[in-house]
Amino acid sequence: MPEPVKNQPVAGWGRYPVHECREYRPEKRRSIGDILGERAQPNYIARGLGRSYGDTAINEGGGVISCLRLDRMLGFDEATGVLHCEAGVSFSTIIDVFLPRGYFIPVTPGTKLISIGGAIANDVHGKNHHRDGSFGHSLIEFELQLPSGEIINCSREQNAEIFWATVGGIGLTGIILTAKFRLRKVPSGFVTVDYLKTKDLDGVLSAIHESDATYQYSMAWVDCLASGRSLGRSVLMRGNHVGPGGLPAAKRSDPFNMGGRFSPTLPFDFPQFALNPLSIRAFNVVFYALSPGGQGVITDCDRYFFPLDSIHHWNRMYGKRGFVQYQVTVPTAEVQAIVEILQAVAKSGKASFLAVLKKFGQGNEGLLSHPIEGFTLTLDFAVNDRLAPFLRELDKTVLKHNGRLYLAKDAVMTPETFRAMYPRWEEYKALRQRIDPDNLLSSSLSRRVGLTP
Ligand X SMILES: Cc1cc2nc3c(=O)[nH]c(=O)nc-3n(C[C@H](O)[C@H](O)[C@H](O)COP(=O)(O)OP(=O)(O)OC[C@H]3O[C@@H](n4cnc5c(N)ncnc54)[C@H](O)[C@@H]3O)c2cc1C
Residue 178 sits in the site that holds ligand X (CB under 6 A): no
Q: Looking at beta carbons, which pairs linking 117-120 to residues 24 or more positions away fall under 8 Å?
A: 117/46, 117/48, 117/67, 117/87, 117/88, 117/171, 117/175, 117/176, 117/179, 118/48, 118/49, 118/51, 118/52, 118/57, 119/91, 120/87, 120/166, 120/167, 120/176, 120/179
Residues between 382 and 441 with contacts to ligand X, criterion CB under 6 A: 408
Residue 109 sits in the site that holds ligand X (CB under 6 A): yes
Near ligand X by CB under 6 A: residue from 17, 110, 189, 361: 110
Stretch that binds ligand X, among 41-49, 146-154, 338-346, 427-435 (CB under 6 A): 41-49
**Toward ligand X, which CB reaches closer, 115 or 192?**
115
**Toward ligand X, which CB reaches closer, 417 or 446?**
446
**Toward ligand X, which CB reaches closer, 198 or 376?**
376
**Toward ligand X, which CB reaches closer, 71 or 365?**
71
Residue 284 sits in the site that holds ligand X (CB under 6 A): no
Q: Minimum distance from CB of 63 to ligand X (Å)?
A: 12
- Could you give the CA distance from residue 53 to residue 323 in angstroms, rounded to a whole number? 8
**Toward ligand X, which CB reaches closer, 33 or 48?**
48
**Toward ligand X, which CB reaches closer, 63 or 126?**
126
- Could you give the CA distance from residue 192 to residue 148 in angstroms, rounded to a whole number? 49
Near ligand X by CB under 6 A: residue from 133, 171, 232, 361: 171
Stretch that binds ligand X, among 112-120, 226-234, 275-283, 361-369 (CB under 6 A): 112-120
Q: How far is CA 448 from CA 266, 388, 393, 441, 442, in A?
A: 31, 14, 19, 14, 10
Residue (of 60, 57, 69) closest to 42 by Cα position: 60
Sequence letter at residue 211: S
Q: DSSP string of 295-321? A: SSEEEEHHHHH-GGGGSBTGGGGG-TT
Query: What are φ and ψ of residue 206, in 5° steps?
Result: -70, -35
Q: Minimum distance from CB of 69 to ligand X (Å)?
A: 11
Residue 449 sits in the site that holds ligand X (CB under 6 A): no
- Cβ proximity of 108 and 118 under 8 Å: no
**Toward ligand X, which CB reaches closer, 87 or 275?**
87
Q: Minimum distance from CB of 57 to ligand X (Å)?
A: 4
Cβ atoms within 10 A of the Cβ of 88, count? Answer: 28
Residues found near ligand X in the complex (CB under 6 A): 13, 45-52, 56-57, 67, 87, 109-111, 114-115, 117-119, 121-122, 124-126, 170-171, 175-176, 308, 408
